[in-house]
């Protein structure tokens, strides 16, 4: 994607946020933020637990046959990687190369790359499974029109296909399959030819990606269970936010808001810094649920503040990776 296109998406996102602020009224948003600012402090330990569970899942996916990474250090690497990912303008993958470099000292490069690729696949699979779970409250709480039910059904079918694909990568690997795909795409054949001399290395990486699934399925599913719990905890963020904003305790409603906003953000991952996607998703979900949509914008901004704090802490921890 060109710089011009990225800039265009960034400006569109900024315009969407500005339009929602103007429509809601800055004073209304400021009042909601000021009365519920304490929520941000409550979200910090919640996300510390999420990152700790992410680190545990990653360690469970590390193939056997060498050194391991201590949990405290794995936690630090996880926080730093996610902080860099949040800071990456496009696709949110900037933290993985840094994590590979830091982990390679203990694991060796092939094991490090394999474990990190396996974790990203598992992380995505946990997202998809939680999106599928969220379709239940969506069917219960959203208007029961034919269009809404059709959309829910289509999303469910697409998510099942994605989940099956992600699970298959743990048994078949990813790198060599991607190389074969590049050979079939006319515009990318040159890239495939350049990567062909590295086929042996890609095969070794795939061996580490699939190692736990093939040799110890119980350990793989334990990692998946840990990652799903981490994902559910991260989605409970909006439960805390809605409660802090005086909107009551309704876990199904909060779960639906969090899941829908996350689904939109992931679907529009090409928008730099997710600007406007999260805010717009929460805004419209509040509207669909019969809540003042302006409060949805305030809720999204509270989540943004939590992100900024963890980004700052993650960047501050980079020195620990030396």
Tokens 């933290």, residue located: 95
> 32-60, pLDDT tens digit by residue?
566 667 788 888 999 999 999 999 999 99
| DSSP letter string, 251-292 | HHHHHHHHHHHHHHHHHTTTSGGGTTHHHHHHHHHHHHTTS-
Question: 258 or 7, which is more confident?
Answer: 258
154 pLDDT higher than 70: yes
Q: What is the pLDDT of residue 1?
A: 47
Cα angle value 99/102/107 (rounded, 5°): 100
Q: What is the pLDDT of residue 57?
A: 94
What CA dihedral angle connects 236, 239, 240 and 241, to 10 degrees?
Answer: 110
132 pLDDT higher than 80: yes
Q: What is the pLDDT of residue 200?
A: 60
Q: What is the pLDDT of residue 47?
A: 93
Q: How many CB atoms lie within 10 A of CB 181?
A: 11
Q: What is the pLDDT of residue 187?
A: 55
Two tokens, residue 179: 């190389």
Range of the domain at 46: 3-321
**pLDDT band per the 50, 70, 90 thresholds, residue 18:** low
Count of domains forming the chain: 1
2 pLDDT higher than 60: no
> 227-248, pLDDT tens digit by residue?
999 999 998 888 888 888 887 7
Q: How far apart are CA 81 and CA 95, in angstroms?
A: 4
With the C-alpha atoms ordered 62, 66, 71, 76, is the resulting torsion angle positive or negative?
A: negative
% of residues, the chain, pLDDT over 90:
17
> Does residue 83 contact residue 314 with C-beta atoms inside 8 Å?
yes
Q: What is the pLDDT of residue 76?
A: 92
**pLDDT band per the 50, 70, 90 thresholds, residue 15:** low
């Amino acid at each position: 994607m060109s710089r011009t296109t990225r800039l265009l998406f960034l400006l569109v996102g900024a315009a969407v946020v500005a339009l929602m602020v103007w429509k809601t009224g800055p004073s209304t948003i400021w009042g909601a933020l000021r009365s519920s600012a304490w929520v941000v402090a409550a979200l910090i330990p919640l996300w510390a637990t999420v990152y700790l569970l992410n680190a545990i899942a990653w360690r469970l996916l590390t193939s056997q046959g060498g050194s391991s990474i201590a949990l405290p250090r794995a936690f630090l690497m996880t926080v730093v990687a996610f902080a860099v990912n949040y800071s990456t303008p496009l696709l949110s993958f900037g933290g993985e190369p840094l994590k590979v470099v830091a982990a390679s000292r203990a694991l060796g490069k092939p094991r490090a790359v394999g474990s990190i690729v396996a974790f990203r696949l598992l992380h995505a699979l946990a997202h998809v499974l939680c999106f599928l779970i969220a379709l239940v409250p969506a069917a219960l709480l959203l208007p029961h029109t034919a269009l809404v039910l059709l959309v829910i059904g289509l999303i469910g079918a697409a998510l099942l296909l994605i989940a099956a694909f992600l699970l298959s990568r743990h048994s078949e690997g990813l790198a060599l399959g991607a190389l074969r795909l590049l050979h079939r795409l006319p515009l990318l054949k040159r890239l495939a030819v350049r990567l062909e001399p590295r086929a042996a290395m890609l095969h070794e990486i795939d061996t580490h990606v699939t190692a736990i699934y093939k040799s110890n399925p119980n350990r793989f599913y334990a990692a998946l269970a840990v990652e799903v719990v981490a994902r559910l905890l991260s989605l409970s963020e909006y439960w805390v936010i809605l409660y802090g904003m005086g909107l009551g305790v309704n876990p199904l409603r909060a779960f639906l808001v969090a899941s829908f906003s996350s689904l939109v953000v992931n679907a529009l991952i090409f928008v730099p810094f997710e600007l406007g996607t999260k805010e717009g998703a929460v805004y419209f979900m509040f509207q669909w649920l019969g809540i003042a949509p302006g409060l949805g914008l305030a809720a999204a901004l509270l989540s943004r503040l939590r992100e900024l704090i963890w980004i700052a802490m993650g960047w501050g921890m980079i020195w620990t990776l030396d």
